[in-house]
Amino acid sequence: MADRERPVFPVAGLGAAGPVMVIGGAEDKLRDKVILARFATLAGGIDGRVVIVSTASSLGDEAVVIYRELFLGLGIGEVVGLRPEEREQADDPAGVEAIRNATGVFITGGNQSRLTQVVAGTKLADALFLARDRGAVVAGTSAGASAMASHMVAYGRSGATPKNRMVHLSAGLGILQGIVIDQHFEQRWRIGRLLAVVAQSPSLLGVGIDEDTCAIVHADRSSLEVIGRGAVTIVDGANVKTDAYRGKGYRPLMVSGAILHSLPGGYWFDLRGRHLLTAPSAPVQEREASE
């Protein structure tokens, strides 16, 4: 199928729905900061107001301090932190107001189940949806990325072979529909569990994101752009054949006919049509073999 034209979208915050950035974790914080810099630009730069939600992190307020310094260094005008640890705190009007005024929201890594158990279904979660709909950029890294989808990988095993009971799904925040997201993908060898998810739920599109890599879902909720050093792996099970419904114990699953896409930085993908949109307009810079 021939490459299609890459769509052009308005800048977030100018009347259109905002983009959603899902990051595979371990994004570069020391050198070019490509992913964090893109977030800072989409959030409005010096005119931006960013809220960091660190509920998932085990680092406590330290996670907010780290990202606050990074975003201020990237030119964001105002950065504040939120860390609700109980559902009652996620209904606090002050936190909701902070999200309401934000041009960007950044959800840290940590434990995605902790994040969703505290935030999902609260006024803070409602504010996240409203922020995205009015044009704010909403980003999540690692656990924050997994929690973006309506179906979330809560936990699972690593490995290349899909197996029964290899992965457990739970409800995510639901900011992105129709996909399931796994992070630290290449580094933690998670292709088997993503194949298992798609075999068991073929209506879902599996999206695996490497470290220091980001999938940006743009305003149309269909066009996905890849940036960063690694790749985004997409597993399409629309025509899959599988014996997953007969699975017992931890035995391997038969999965046949799944379509696999591996997209490095610079490539775009149509999430609805499930096909490549376009190749990069310029050659991707070659990396040293030692990287």
CA distances from 59 to 56, 63, 65, 83, 89 (A): 9, 6, 10, 11, 18
**Cβ atoms of 178 and 20 closer than 8 Å:** no
**Residue 247 and residue 211: Cα distance in Å, rounded?**
31
Side-chain half-sphere CA neighbours of 66 within 13 A? 17
In angstroms and rounded to an integer, the radius of gyration of the C-alpha atoms of the chain is 18
Active-site option among 151, 211, 223, 225:
211
Q: In angstroms, what CA-CA distances link 183 with 40, 110, 128, 202, 221?
A: 21, 12, 21, 19, 20
Catalytic residue of the set 57, 142, 146, 223: 142
Active site residue 261: no
57, 113, 184, 225: the active-site residue: 184
SS3 content of the chain, % helix, strand, coil (to 5): 25, 30, 45
- Catalytic residue flag (residue 275): no
Would you call 211 a catalytic residue per the annotation?
Answer: yes
Q: The dihedral of CA 118, 122, 123, 124: what is its sign?
A: positive
Catalytic residues: 142, 184, 211
